[in-house]
Amino acid sequence: MSNMMEIKDLQAKIGDKKILNGLNLTLEKGKVHAIMGPNGAGKSTLSKAIVGHYDIEVLGGEILYRGENIVDKEPEERALDGIFLSFQHPVEVAGVNNAYFLRTAVNAKRRHEGKDELNAAEFLREMKKQVETLGMKPDMISRSLNEGFSGGEKKRNEILQMQMLQPDMIVLDEIDSGLDIDALRAVSEGINSMKDGERSFLVITHYSRILDYIKPDYIHVLKDGKIVHTGGPELVAQLEEEGYESLGEA
């Protein structure tokens, strides 16, 4: 089977508001899928539904991850099984050392996979390497998790976590928002380095800019809680010129 994830007729609400209205989407192994759409279309809701965010109530449909429906799974179970979300607004946690947090997460995943845990030295060696590659300041290792980080630093920290956790299904929610050109380039390089022909990416974005750096294989247009159009990379140019209105029901 060459599909990483199949979302079938997904219906979900936040509070009293129904946002996803029978969404269908197939994510292929080793491919980069981009989701574009106007504000309020349900882009972030989709990403939250995939990782089991507490705001979302799934009313119907399935999210099959490697063939298994994960709708009722706890967020940490989905994470341990290899689903990763890069948050649009990463939260700050005072007093929790960035390296300590990340080592706990990495070792939880290694335990789950039946591997030996990394000791502090092994872990730090790896983390330092990635921090350098991402162009992050070395003090990010020992600072409190996201506390006082700039917007760009927070996004780089998300990519750092992704690289250390080595997930299989990567959801990037507006990874490009608030990034200057240097940060955008570093973040994109980080993402591209993860492409290995096996991992799948779901890039959720409002702007096409990031897609110049992370070349998508498929573009899906999300409108009113449904995928209304699917096409190849050429769709980006069309959307840029004509806007979302031009694309009616697929």
Partner 1 sequence: MPQQELDKAVSGEYALGFEIDIEQDTVPPGLDENTIKFISAKKDEPKWMLELRLKAFEKWKKMTEPSWGHLEYEPIDYQSISYFSAPKQAPDSLDEVDPKILEAYKKLGIPLEEQKQLQGIAVDAVIDSVSVKTTYSEELEKHGVIFCSISDAIRDYPELVKKYMYSVVPVTDNFFAALNSAVFTDGTFVYIPKGVRCPMELSTYFRINALNTGQFERTIVIADEGSYVSYNEGCSAPTRDDNQLHAAVVELIALKDAEIKYSTIQNWYPGDENGKGGIYNFVTKRGICEENAKISWTQVETGSAITWKYPSCILKGDNSVGEFYSVAVTTLAQQADTGTKMIHIGKNTKSTIISKGISAMKGQNTYRGLVKMGAGAEGARNYSECDSLLIGDRCGAHTFPYLESKDSLGQVEHEATTSKISDEQLFYLRQRGINEEDAVSMIVHGFCKDVFKMLPMEYAVEAKALLNLTLEGSVG
* Chain positions contacting partner 1, by CB under 8 A: 51, 53-54, 74-76, 79-80, 84-85, 87, 90-91, 93-96, 101-102, 104-105, 108-109, 112, 144-145, 161, 165
Secondary structure E strands in the chain: 3-14, 17-28, 32-36, 56-65, 68-69, 83-86, 169-173, 200-205, 218-223, 226-231
Q: Which is nearer to partner 1, 50 or 211 (CB)?
A: 50
Contact at 8 Å (CB) between 168 and 196? no
Minimum CB separation of residue 96 from partner 1 in Å reads: 4
The DSSP-derived string for 42-79 is: SHHHHHHHHHT-TTEEEEEEEEEETTEE-TTS-HHHHH
Minimum Å gap between C-beta 95 and partner 1 is 3
CB of 209 to partner 1, least distance (A): 26
- Minimum gap (Å) between residue 93 Cβ and partner 1: 5
The 8-class DSSP code of residue 152 comes to H
∠ CA 87-190-139, rounded to 5° = 75
Least CB distance to partner 1 at residue 108 (A): 4
Nearer to partner 1, 76 or 122 (CB): 76
Name the nearest CA neighbour of 65 among 171, 217, 181.
171
By beta-carbon proximity to partner 1, the closer residue of 79 and 227 is 79
Question: CA torsion sign, 197 to 202 to 225 to 70?
Answer: positive
Distance CA 96, CA 102 (A): 10
Q: Helix, strand, or coil here: 149?
A: coil
Please say which residue, 87 or 218, places its beta carbon nearer to partner 1. Answer: 87
Query: Minimal distance in Å, beta carbon 190 to partner 1?
Result: 17
Which is nearer to partner 1, 79 or 127 (by Cβ)?
A: 79
Smaller CB separation from partner 1, 73 or 223: 73
CA nearest neighbour of 81 among 188, 190, 173, 165: 165
Spatial distance between the Cα atoms of 83 and 126, rounded to a whole number of angstroms: 21
